[in-house]
Amino acid sequence: MSGRRWIVGIAGLLLAAGCSVSPPRRLREGTSDFGRNPIQFRLALEPIELGFIPDLRGVAADTLQSFASPPDSSQVGAGEAFGPSFRVRADLKQLQANLEESLRWSKIFEEGVVRLETGDELRDFYQIADEAGARMLMKVRLDDSRVRYVGTAGLVWWLNMFNYFIWSPPFAWWVPDESFAVDLAAHVELLEVRTQTTLFAETFEASHEEWLNEFMHGWLVLGLFRAPSAFESENWLQVYDQLFPYAELQFEQALLDWLSRTLASFFEGDAWRIPFEEGSDDSARTHAVIVGVPGEGAENADRDAQAVEAFLAEHSGEGVSSRTVLTGSGASREAILKAVEALQGTKTLKRDRVVFYFSGRGLHDADGFKLDCGAGAALPLEALREAMGGVASTRVLFLLDTSFGGSGGRTHPDSLPIDPEGYLAELGDPERGWRAIVAAGPEEAAWNLTTNLPEDERGLLTSFLTSSGRSPRDTSGDGELSLLEIFTHLRERVPPAALAFTGLSQTPLLIGSAEDFKLKIGD
């Protein structure tokens, strides 16, 4: 063989030294057409599971198994008609990260994507997703991920063999004359977080095939004749790592297309309203904004708030419930309204329970009823009603351990007389599902339960709601504490206690209906 041929071959060898399949262009590098009609919910992405036992890259660790020769094709399942194939454990963390980025890029979910970490599995993924405000959970199971040998390039392979013997062996190494493929199969479920029910499920298959030369699949002595029979695990993995990104990209593209079409169709109808807007009794949550503002006559209002928080924590049942506690200087008008407005949007469903609790002084002036926020500031009930009007729940309870009339106690000294006709009727709006329990009537003041230790004093209403031995009981035995049971208990216990401690009357009022509002009994 002449020196010129060897020079050409060596030049080809040098050019091929870094030869590999170029990585694909990621979806997120282009412009998304998927988010034209975004879904107004947040998605949680669960860690991707492996649904098979890999031949290469073991489950326990990404360590290579050494093969003197590949297993017989009849032992490796699919692909035996085309030659040897091996299931490979993909990098699941990278796969999940890529999928998450593509989901964010697609803008299908208006409120974004939450990635759940593998370390979270000691806790319920549904609970974590719910706490993060996600209404949908995506589960992805990788059922197949394999590299396989497809075959030679027919006439090209024969011409290359001629080139190997006649022209230049190094030049022949550079010619792509053998075909390999990577196949991917995944099962995807989309679930509603609260009910943990499957909304949609689909199986996806993707495959990418490429012609490779000696350097792309790893150089072998006499590789033209020995590939792939002489391949070791490193050769198969080299092929897999180059072709898998293309199969992965096909999967992501198909998944986004499926999500876009399926969800658009789903939300065009009314079927989505039950799980995503209405909710159910079984999946209902209890959300609370709990406010305590100490002042004259309500010196321990902040402790009242803490007691109510503990009471609601015990009576919220299973699932995620939110409780925002604002006390003292942190209970400004702005902070209270912000906490109520946070319950708007998709966080609260119609069947959820919402409790607004206030302990402190009440004020009635020429502008109407107000809650004293301290430092000369006050929150008009009109502003509170307006903020609560944006909350979807039709089970709203205003629980007010305060008073607006009478003299002393929890009534602000600047309060004006009240017309008892229609007293606080706006808080009992039946169309909105609102109802209220107020500690005292329009001409009464609310008082504290006096003890030997001033720091242990509580509002009478709060004390008989939350204190051990004084709190309401499940008289029906149904495992729930209804609003009627709560109010009946308070109506029976508060008036005689007020009379005994102060010599004055204090009669709790129920404004609106006691129907369709129950709290769970704690274990």
Helix (H/G/I), strand (E/B), else coil: 225: helix
List the structure tokens of 30.
């282009």
List the structure tokens of 176.
């792509």
Would you place residue 119 in the very low, low, confident or very high pLDDT band (cuts 50, 70, 90)? low
Token look-up 């949908």 returns 136
d(CA 520, CA 488): 17
Do residues 401 and 439 make contact, with C-beta atoms less than 8 angstroms apart? Answer: yes
Q: For residue 47, give the nearest of 88, 2, 4, 99 by alpha carbon.
A: 99
**Residue ranges of the alpha helices (H) in 36-189?**
92-106, 125-131, 155-162, 169-173
Q: For residue 259, give the nearest of 149, 113, 388 by alpha carbon.
A: 113
Q: For residue 235, give the nearest of 82, 86, 393, 118 by alpha carbon.
A: 86
* pTM (two decimals): 0.68
Would you place residue 87 in the very low, low, confident or very high pLDDT band (cuts 50, 70, 90)? very high
Top pLDDT among 76 and 400 is at 400
| 201 phi/psi in degrees, rounded to 5 | -145, 145
DSSP notation for 320-380: ---EEEEEGGG--HHHHHHHHHTTTTTTS-TTSEEEEEEES-EEEETTEEEEEEETTEEEE
Helix (H/G/I), strand (E/B), else coil: 89: coil
Q: For residue 140, give the nearest of 100, 104, 174 by alpha carbon.
A: 100
d(CA 117, CA 438): 45
What region, left, alpha or beta, does residue 222 occupy, with left being phi > 0 and alpha being psi -120 to 50 degrees?
A: left
Q: Give tens-digit pLDDT for 298-331.
A: 999 999 999 999 999 888 766 557 889 999 999 9
- Residue 205, strand partner residues: 185
- Considering just the CA atoms, what is the radius of gyration of the chain in Å? 35
The pLDDT of residue 18? 44
Would you place residue 371 in the very low, low, confident or very high pLDDT band (cuts 50, 70, 90)? very high
Above 80 in pLDDT, residue 3?
no
Above 90 in pLDDT, residue 258?
yes
Above 60 in pLDDT, residue 92?
yes
Would you place residue 111 in the very low, low, confident or very high pLDDT band (cuts 50, 70, 90)? confident
d(CA 444, CA 407): 7
The pLDDT of residue 99? 94
Above 90 in pLDDT, residue 476?
no
Helix or strand run (H / E) with residue 252:
helix 233-268
Sorted by sequence, the CB contacts under 8 Å of residue 37 that are 6+ apart come out as 264
Token look-up 């939110």 returns 322
Q: Give tens-digit pLDDT for 34-62.
A: 656 777 788 999 999 999 888 887 543 33
DSSP notation for 226-250: HTTTT--HHHHHHHHHHHHHHHHHH
The pLDDT of residue 31? 53
The total of other beta-carbon atoms located within 10 Å of residue 236's CB is: 27
